[in-house]
Structure 1
Amino acid sequence: MSRLGRALRVTLVEYFKKTSLNGFGLLYFIRRRRYQRFFWFLFIAVGMLSASFVVFSTLLQFLARSTVTSLSDQSSAAEDMPFPALTLCSANKLSRQRLHELAQQLASSSGNATDYWLQRLPLLSGYFFPSAVEAASAARLQAALVDAQEVVWHVRQQLLHLSPSCESLLLSCHLDAVALNCTQLFRLMPTFEGCCCVLQQPGRITGATLTLRLNASRADDFRMPRTRLNAGFSLHLPGWLGRLSLQPGESSALQLGAIRLQADPRLRGFPLAERGCHFAEEAEHLVQCLPLCRLRSAIAACNCAPFAYDLSSPALAELNVSYCNLAHTACLQSLEASWSPWSCEECLPACNDWRYELSKSLSGYMSPLESKVSIRYGGQRVPLYRQDGLYNWYELLSNVGGVLSVCIGCSFISGFEFVYFMLFRLWHNWRQLGL
């Protein structure tokens, strides 16, 4: 046996005689009773394997998902919660009366009859649903509009003008049975669902029931592709991919559900891929990020922006692009078929956020020319979900240390002890054997 091998053997014997690890000393002191020695060796081996399995499982769990979301015992009172930016959209995207006026203006400037334009203006549906119209027909209508109009067609302003106004859609608005001016509550704004009535300053409405009486008359409907015969209204919430529909003659009660998400500030030190969310100072909120991602895709593919974007805003003014028109229908159809929110990998949820959803219950029926909807928060409390680190460093250390202590009686002292014997005592014994 070599000098190093003999020194290692002497060191191991010395280590087993003097180690503070429970049971290891018996491997030396009962060496003449082989069956007992085998028992202790087997017992220690099982302990070491068990400790290794639990420790590695804990570490792998921490590396795979280092955060955990749990329901907190804290909550907010629903009566103190402001309403989100509720959006009310009519299935009738364009006003029949205003389109007739437009057709008459085009007839007087182009020489074509009013009926000629009324037969082609349904192709304006391509602004709202590009896939619902034939791209070539839409492009021909765009060329005809350019030839017939003396001024440049401003897409966003024209669509706002041609859409049904909030005054015509909202017959009355009440907040806890107190009548309010609907024009002060809602404003007509371009959205991806068309020009819709968006609740303004929703923070003013807290813990109350908002009741809306809607005009379901079809007198001003202009039949367009993709418009269903029984269509009425749809309700949308920011950040909620779902929608609720309201049919003519329905009286419905909507419950607004909300949850609050709150992240531990210490998660800022975690990698973005592990926590899966953005803090406010790191990136745009998901509600703003996804539309911007969609806008970048539209500009890259079609070199234009859909009418839902306000290009006059400071954030978009520097893009130097124009609005998409019917000539871009083919490109927008291709984009609509290929674009997905999952392609925007940089858009993550906010770490501190509110999530909303709507649920509907039918209260009864009324005149088919009207619809009525009451909106309020469901429940008395709003739950809080907290996102925390799965383990803090000291918790991970205590878990690993506890497992090692239970299985093999190991501690920091045991680790330093092993290093001492395998370095200093091995070196000492190697030198002693050389004398």
Structure 2
Amino acid sequence: MPQTHTVKLDRSDKNQAWNPKSDRNTELISNVEQSFFSQTTIHGLKYLLEPKKTRFERGFWILAVICSWAFAAFMIIQVIITYHFFFNSPQHIVLAKWQESPILVSYDSTTTPIWELPFPALTICNMNKVQRSRIEAIEAILKRNASNDFYAKERRFATEICQKTTARHSELQRAPSNQDVSVANLDIDGKMLQHYMNNLGQDCSQMLLRCEFKGISRNCSELFIPVITDEGRCCSFNIMPESIMFKDVSVEQLQVEDHEETVKLWSHWDMETGYRFGPNEYDGEINITSDAEPMPRRAVAPGLHMGLSVLLDVREQEYYCSGTESIGFKALLHTPATLPEMIEYGFAFEPGSETFLAVTPEMIHAEEQIHGISYIKRQCYLKGERRLKYLNHYTFLNCFMECASNFTFKTCDCVAYYMPRNSKTMPICAPERHACVDRAIKIVQESAFDDKHAENTECNCLPPCSDFSYPHETSKSKLKAALLNLSQDLIKAHPEFLNESYVNHNLALVHLHFQNLHFIRHLRSELFGLTDFFATIGGLLGLSMGFSVLSLVEIVYFLVLKLLCKAIKPN
């Protein structure tokens, strides 16, 4: 039992100021300390001042307590006292290691139906960028009238499109004789660009012969729209129109009728929050074969007949320049709000084959808890955090494409024809500037996706916190002309489609569908919340010291309240 002491105070002592150095007050502090050490619930402390302990025993317990506290301190440092600097400024210090990587990606506990995300946007490009018949027609015109600036400019623009081509058509690399090769840029506005692309590339009506969606035959022009990509003029299904995807500064002067109606059709869906209505809430309101279909389209069931089927014609006789060393098509599955980047990410399918693309989507959803975490630490952008200059919707590839455009213009004073741009201030690079464009794009490719080392390009392209993609399995078989299901009108217009040789060298059939009705999405959530943080620290303190909230109350009681009470009323 601790010793008790009686301290006598005379009347004059009550008027004296508190002085911890006086003998009486020193004795009082010593008594409170002994009382605390003997009665506290913190492990090991009662053995430090316990009477009748040998020096060895007392030293052993002092060492044990120090080691236990040191272990607790070390473990807590691993959790909360790791300093790190960001924004390159010592004023911004984070005192929590769990804040350096605070995001946990896990599986959702429930499955998600496929109708909660759009059907994949499918972009298809003929590997032939420029039709031979059009080049021959242009050169015939220039031969008769070499001073015709409109066709001379189109011929030069064709050279620009075919820069990344094989040596097979190296004759395209020569500039027309009436052109001054010292001219750096092509004076082409948005309307002229569209006109040239429509003339030079294969028209979607020539490429797409037969289309079906959800088991219903559809007019291909209702499902596909022409788009400009790094592979030339392509055709896209379920993609946002340029009038919605681009901001006003970069819309290439398209004649979009009923723009308000188009905006309304696309107003039911958002990249981050998804669809506003269920898949069957439109029944009775619209005709699924009309242009008033809510966008983007979605599937309500998996399987071949609930997907998209397209019959394609490559028109081998029209090949003039190709970005590959083969004949066929390039395709890409992407989100409806993404600009397709065909050269780097497109996959090929060959003529003479029937190709099946079975999609198992992947989706990641950002929970509300991560909204308070800086994008630097979570390494992704929430809606509205990263705004683009030319595009209304942020996606990973949209950011890259815009960054490539900005950096190319900064480096070469012009941009590639397929890059988003302000057509009034950013000219299209002439073929002579192709090397400069390639160097700029290479620099962007090396740094655009690294937010810590993007000083030169200033891209800072991180993925969206809520995103989805369309991984797929591919299988194919050989087409046979006699087995093709062709309408009489199509056979009458193209009798060559019954020729086995023509089918093997030109036609391709593609089927795109979901593999399963449900999929398991990923959740991007908080790794350590405030509750987890205190639970971790409390667990370490309890394990090493037996420390709890009541232990803190004991310290306050003995070393503050009791000490004051003893000083004021010693009896």
Measure the CA separation in 2 of the matches of 1:219 and 1:421: 96
Measure the CA separation in 1 of the matches of 2:440 and 2:194: 20
1:414 is aligned with what amino acid?
A: S
Does residue 1:210 correspond to 2:308, yes or no? yes
Q: Which residue of 2 aligns with 1:338?
A: 443
Q: Which residue of 1 aligns with 2:248?
A: none
Does residue 1:67 correspond to 2:165, yes or no? no
SS for the counterpart of 2:118 is coil
Measure the CA separation in 1 of the matches of 2:165 and 2:52: 84
Q: Which residue of 2 aligns with 1:233?
A: 329
RMSD: 3.9
Q: Which residue of 1 aligns with 2:196?
A: 158
- Tell me if structure 2 keeps the 8 A contact 1:172–1:182: yes
Does residue 1:361 correspond to 2:396, yes or no? no
Q: Which residue of 1 aligns with 2:538?
A: 401
Q: CA 1:121/1:81 → structure 2, altered by over 3 Å: closer, same or farther?
A: same
Does residue 1:281 correspond to 2:384, yes or no? yes
SS for the counterpart of 1:73 is coil
Deviation (angstroms), 1:189: 1.3
Q: Which residue of 2 aligns with 1:19?
A: 40
Q: Which residue of 1 aligns with 2:161?
A: 127
The aligned runs of 1:22-101 (5 Å cut-off) are 22-29=43-50, 31-34=52-55, 36-59=57-80, 61-79=97-115, 81-101=117-137
Q: Which residue of 1 aligns with 2:269?
A: none
Q: CA 1:155/1:329 → structure 2, altered by over 3 Å: closer, same or farther?
A: farther
Deviation (angstroms), 1:428: 10
Deviation (angstroms), 1:158: 0.9
- Tell me if structure 1 keeps the 8 A contact 2:130–2:200: yes
- Tell me if structure 1 keeps the 8 A contact 2:364–2:523: yes
Q: Which residue of 2 aligns with 1:260?
A: 363
SS for the counterpart of 2:310 is strand
Identify the match of residue 197 of structure 1 among 235, 250, 265: 235
- Tell me if structure 2 keeps the 8 A contact 1:128–1:193: no
SS for the counterpart of 1:101 is helix
Measure the CA separation in 2 of the matches of 1:376 and 1:26: 73
TM-score (norm 1): 0.81
Deviation (angstroms), 1:292: 1.4
Q: CA 1:20/1:325 → structure 2, altered by over 3 Å: closer, same or farther?
A: same
Measure the CA separation in 1 of the matches of 2:210 and 2:59: 88
Q: Which residue of 1 aligns with 2:179?
A: 144
Q: Which residue of 1 aligns with 2:429?
A: 324
Identify the match of residue 105 of structure 1 among 141, 159, 177: 141
SS for the counterpart of 2:547 is coil
Deviation (angstroms), 1:16: 1.9
Structure 2 gap ranges (5+): 1-19, 83-96, 240-294, 388-393, 481-502
SS for the counterpart of 2:428 is coil
Q: CA 1:144/1:155 → structure 2, altered by over 3 Å: closer, same or farther?
A: farther
Q: CA 1:159/1:146 → structure 2, altered by over 3 Å: closer, same or farther?
A: farther
Q: Which has the higher contact order (CA 8 A, sep 6+)?
A: 1
Measure the CA separation in 2 of the matches of 1:299 and 1:139: 24
Measure the CA separation in 2 of the matches of 1:252 and 1:145: 46
1:204 is aligned with what amino acid?
A: R
Deviation (angstroms), 1:17: 2.5
- Tell me if structure 2 keeps the 8 A contact 1:262–1:353: yes
Measure the CA separation in 2 of the matches of 1:212 and 1:309: 28
Measure the CA separation in 2 of the matches of 1:19 and 1:184: 80
Measure the CA separation in 2 of the matches of 1:4 and 1:235: 89
Measure the CA separation in 1 of the matches of 2:144 and 2:205: 29
- Tell me if structure 1 keeps the 8 A contact 2:366–2:465: yes
Q: CA 1:125/1:139 → structure 2, altered by over 3 Å: closer, same or farther?
A: closer
Once the two structures are superposed, residues 97-155 of structure 1 have per-residue CA deviations (whole angstroms, 9 ceiling, x without a partner) of 2222112122121189xxxx9xx9699354354587999x95844962899xxx97634
Q: CA 1:56/1:345 → structure 2, altered by over 3 Å: closer, same or farther?
A: farther
Once the two structures are superposed, residues 251-275 of structure 1 have per-residue CA deviations (whole angstroms, 9 ceiling, x without a partner) of 1110223222211223222112111
The aligned runs of 1:288-303 (5 Å cut-off) are 288-303=398-413
Deviation (angstroms), 1:327: 3.6
SS for the counterpart of 2:376 is helix
SS for the counterpart of 2:519 is strand
TM-score (norm 2): 0.63
What count of residue pairs does the alignment treat as equivalent?
Answer: 413
Does residue 1:348 correspond to 2:384, yes or no? no
Q: Structure 1 or 2: larger helix share?
A: 1
Q: CA 1:128/1:221 → structure 2, altered by over 3 Å: closer, same or farther?
A: closer
SS for the counterpart of 2:331 is strand
Deviation (angstroms), 1:76: 1.7
2:296 is aligned with what amino acid?
A: G
- Tell me if structure 1 keeps the 8 A contact 2:112–2:518: yes
Once the two structures are superposed, residues 293-323 of structure 1 have per-residue CA deviations (whole angstroms, 9 ceiling, x without a partner) of 1111121112223222465xxxx46x62222
Structure 1 gap ranges (5+): none
Measure the CA separation in 2 of the matches of 1:209 and 1:131: 34
Q: CA 1:184/1:254 → structure 2, altered by over 3 Å: closer, same or farther?
A: same
